[in-house]
Amino acid sequence: MKMRLQKFLAASGVASRRHCEKLIAEGRAAVNGEVVTEPGISVDPERDTVTLDSQPLGYRLEMVYLMLNKPEGYVTTMSEQFGRPCVAELVPPGTRVVPVGRLDYDSSGLLLLTNDGDIIYKLTHPRYGVEKTYAAAVRGVPEEAALEKLRRGVLLDGRVTAPARVGLKKTRAGGPEVPAQAEIIITIHEGRNRQVRRMCEAIGHPVRALKRVAIGELKLGDLRKGEYRILSKNEIEYLNYLKNVL
């Protein structure tokens, strides 16, 4: 069964398929001892020897799907050169998975990790527009007009954000020393850098805490912060459905 080299690398747990294309272009991959710089080349997992940075790779037929409740103070990477805590420390040692997209260092919540390059690609590429839902604790209590601005889109970096679903979940009145606060639920299908935080800043209600609670139909639920679980059969079937229809 032949497949493209970037798909082989992604299925081996190296990185997302898109990032694997960059690794190939940098000349870091070789097939049967020959360096390859074109990602479109086909390889046979049963016959060809594939290496990355001179290290042999094995094609993983068994797919792994994990859901992690990422705590604040962790970077979304499987290795960290600056000594900061990273999400690799929260999953079993030696697990060959990579994060699906990113969560900010200061944000928490639902993070998927897998060795399924196809689903990484489908969930992170902007063209597919998979929805992500966040619970944002913000300073002050936004009025309906401010929430409507979020729904219609706000200007970031010269471009208006795509329409979002936004609802006010709860509020807390302020006092002499404690300002009023609110929690809003916002669903977006873009992936701009720190997008939810910047959208809330744009309406004058900066984020105090941000948690991702859903990706598509996958829900964080009551998974405790810092813990992970294997996706259920129904959740994996949902991901396979996305791979087929997107």
- In this prediction, residue 63 carries a pLDDT of 85
- In this prediction, residue 220 carries a pLDDT of 97
Number of domains observed in the structure of the chain: 3
Give CA–CA dist 118/186, Å, rounded.
26
- In this prediction, residue 139 carries a pLDDT of 94
Give CA–CA dist 23/13, Å, rounded.
13
Instruction: Give yes or no: residues 198 and 140 share one domain.
Output: yes
Give CA–CA dist 9/40, Å, rounded.
12
Instruction: Give yes or no: residues 102 and 135 share one domain.
Output: no
In 3D, which of 91, 48, 47 has the Cα closest to residue 69? 91
Instruction: Give yes or no: residues 73 and 182 share one domain.
Output: no
Q: Which of the following is catalytic: 48, 53, 104, 222?
A: 104
Start-to-end Cα distance in the chain: 23
- In this prediction, residue 24 carries a pLDDT of 92
Instruction: Give yes or no: residues 156 and 202 share one domain.
Output: yes
DSSP 5: H
CATH of the domain at 232: 3.30.70.580
Instruction: Give yes or no: residues 104 and 73 share one domain.
Output: yes
Instruction: Give yes or no: residues 77 and 47 share one domain.
Output: no
pTM for the complete prediction?
0.77
Instruction: Give yes or no: residues 211 and 162 share one domain.
Output: yes
Instruction: Give yes or no: residues 27 and 47 share one domain.
Output: yes
- In this prediction, residue 39 carries a pLDDT of 78
- In this prediction, residue 61 carries a pLDDT of 57
AA letter at 124: T
Give CA–CA dist 112/128, Å, rounded.
17
Q: Is 104 marked active-site? A: yes
AA letter at 116: D
Distance of CA 225 to the CA centre of its chain: 17
- In this prediction, residue 233 carries a pLDDT of 94
- In this prediction, residue 8 carries a pLDDT of 85
Instruction: Give yes or no: residues 209 and 181 share one domain.
Output: yes
Give CA–CA dist 79/90, Å, rounded.
12
CATH of the domain at 46: 3.10.290.10
Instruction: Give yes or no: residues 34 and 85 share one domain.
Output: no
Dihedral sign computed on CA atoms, order 121, 127, 130, 135: positive
Give CA–CA dist 48/51, Å, rounded.
10
Three-class secondary structure of residue 19 per DSSP: helix
10-residue mean pLDDT profile of the chain (246 residues): values are: 82 79 92 88 86 82 89 92 91 88 95 90 88 96 95 95 94 76 95 94 96 97 97 95 85
Domain range for residue 197? 131-215
